[in-house]
Amino acid sequence: MHEVIGNSVADPAPRGSKTTGSATVIALALSRGHIEGAVVGGDEVLTLTHRRVAPSVGIDEFVDLALDCTTELREHSGRLGRRPAAAGVVLAEDGDGVNGLSPFAGEYHWRGAPVRAWLEEHLDLPVTVGHDVRAGGQAEARLGAGRGSRAFLYVPAGDRIPAVLVLDGHAPEKSRFCVGDLGRLPTWTGAADTGRAERVGDVAAPRALGRRYEAAGGRAGLSALSVHQRARAGDRAAAHVWNEALEAFADALASAVMVLGPERVVIGGDYAEADKAYFRRLRRAVAGRTESRPAPVIVPAQLGLQAALLGAALLTRGAPADAEPPIRPRLLTALPSPPNTR
């Protein structure tokens, strides 16, 4: 039995979300509990689908679900009169783009898993494998908030707070050690209450905010932005959790800025949806911690949760970093929702 606990179609692509090249490709992003897929044709994002998979599902079942998703995307592409020429897949753990292997154990114990071979056999298409953070950073460089920047730090905060430095439109691909985790840095933001340093990810990762708010007596199961809304409405517990998260996030960003010196920081993931007031506060907090050097511009990502998928599509095309600016999204078509169990 494959337990799918949710299936949804993503929001329409933000303004400017298109790729270069004329071929239709299948894009897939795999991470623990999530399978996201898209059909990208020419300059259009044609279809997007997102499945939430129960944590109890093992690696074999997860792979089967991913293969089923690619089958549905390919069939839907055919109904649209498009024939995919290739597929790109990005993993939450590092993938070997040459051999299509995942060298890290990662969340689903992918070590040595021949991801590319599985997909090529299943789809009978050439497949490119990459890292979701690097791919998302390159998509933002070519299509989103990183355009025009020679050096920016891409930080797609979610379950963790990963980061990658994108230089001249490219995130390093030759080493699996080029994507960092800012969430593992220490922060003393809550030391007055706890008497000790904590990991930034335990305080500032968007997924952590709901847990911390619940521990403070708040409602269970809220997203980071829901906690923010409650803070703005006068909820003292929510305000405390939100403010600590912002300060801890600023600690981590300031450390990265002092070491790497980016001219821009692009915040992706859940925080990309935060309001302008949040980004003003975050910029001030980081600037106050980096007084010895110019503070970078800090902006929300433009591609949202689609960044990794668009990056996967770009992996198959080798689009030049100086591609013409995109104009607008064109079309979004829903896939039929699968049954809850099979």
End-to-end CA distance of the chain: 5
- Fill in the DSSP letter of residue 168: T
pLDDT band at 27 (very low <50, low <70, confident <90, very high): very high
- Fill in the DSSP letter of residue 211: H
pTM of structure: 0.83
Q: What is the pLDDT of residue 321?
A: 37
Q: Which residues lie closer than 8 Å to 315 by C-beta, 6 or more apart?
A: 88, 90, 97, 128, 130, 135
Distance in angstroms (rounded) separating the CA atoms of residues 317 and 13: 19
What value does the mean pLDDT of the chain take?
A: 81
Distance in angstroms (rounded) separating the CA atoms of residues 129 and 107: 17
Q: In this structure, are strands 297-300 and 264-269 parallel, antiparallel, or unpaired?
A: parallel
Q: Which helix (H) or strand (E) holds 29?
A: strand 24-31
Q: DSSP H helical segments within 80-186, as ranges?
A: 115-123, 132-143
**Residue-wise pLDDT tens digits, 224-260:** 999 999 999 999 999 999 999 999 999 999 999 999 9
Q: What is the pLDDT of residue 116?
A: 83
- Candidate from 24-38, 92-106, 239-253, 278-292 with smallest mean pLDDT: 92-106
Distance in angstroms (rounded) separating the CA atoms of residues 323 and 342: 43
> Average pLDDT for residues 271-295, to the nearest whole number?
93
> Average pLDDT for residues 155-175, to the nearest whole number?
86
Query: What single string gives the DSSP state of each residue in 259-323?
Result: HH--SEEEEEEGGGGS-HHHHHHHHHHHHHH-TTSPPPEEEE-SSGGGHHHHHHHHHTTT--TTP
Bigger pLDDT: 183 vs 322: 183
**Residue-wise pLDDT tens digits, 112-149:** 678 788 889 999 999 998 889 999 999 999 999 999 99
Q: Can you say how many angstroms the Cα of residue 86 is from the centroid of all Cα atoms in its chain?
A: 22
> Average pLDDT for residues 76-82, to the nearest whole number?
89
pLDDT band at 174 (very low <50, low <70, confident <90, very high): low
Q: How many CB atoms lie within 10 A of CB 117?
A: 14
β-bridge partners, 47: 39, 333
45: left (phi over 0), alpha (psi -120 to 50) or beta: beta
β-bridge partners, 96: 101
Q: What is the pLDDT of residue 288?
A: 95
Q: What is the pLDDT of residue 32?
A: 75
Q: What is the pLDDT of residue 98?
A: 45
Q: What is the pLDDT of residue 179?
A: 79
- Candidate from 60-64, 108-112, 285-289 with smallest mean pLDDT: 108-112
Res. 96: pLDDT tops 90:
no
In terms of C-beta density within 10 A (0-12 exposed, 13-18 middle, 19 or more buried), how is residue 25 classed? buried
Q: In what order do the strands lie in the sheet with 127-131?
A: 4-8, 44-53, 34-41, 24-31, 86-91, 127-131
Bigger pLDDT: 46 vs 100: 46
pLDDT band at 196 (very low <50, low <70, confident <90, very high): confident
> Average pLDDT for residues 219-223, to the nearest whole number?
94
Helix, strand, or coil (residue 253): helix
Asked whether the beta carbons of 131 and 110 are under 8 A apart, the reply is no
Q: Which amino acid, residue 198?
A: E
Q: What is the pLDDT of residue 175?
A: 52
pLDDT band at 31 (very low <50, low <70, confident <90, very high): confident
Distance in angstroms (rounded) separating the CA atoms of residues 307 and 111: 25
Q: Can you say how many angstroms the Cα of residue 193 is from the centroid of all Cα atoms in its chain?
A: 32
Q: Which of 7-11, 36-40, 93-97, 201-205 has the highest mean pLDDT?
A: 201-205
Q: How many CB atoms lie within 10 A of CB 10?
A: 19
% of the chain residues with pLDDT over 90: 54
Q: In this structure, are strands 44-53 and 4-8 parallel, antiparallel, or unpaired?
A: antiparallel
β-bridge partners, 165: 153
Given the structure tokens 């074999």, which residue do they identify? 60
- Candidate from 164-178, 258-272, 280-294, 305-319 with smallest mean pLDDT: 164-178
Q: In this structure, are strands 198-199 and 186-187 parallel, antiparallel, or unpaired?
A: antiparallel
Bigger pLDDT: 5 vs 236: 236
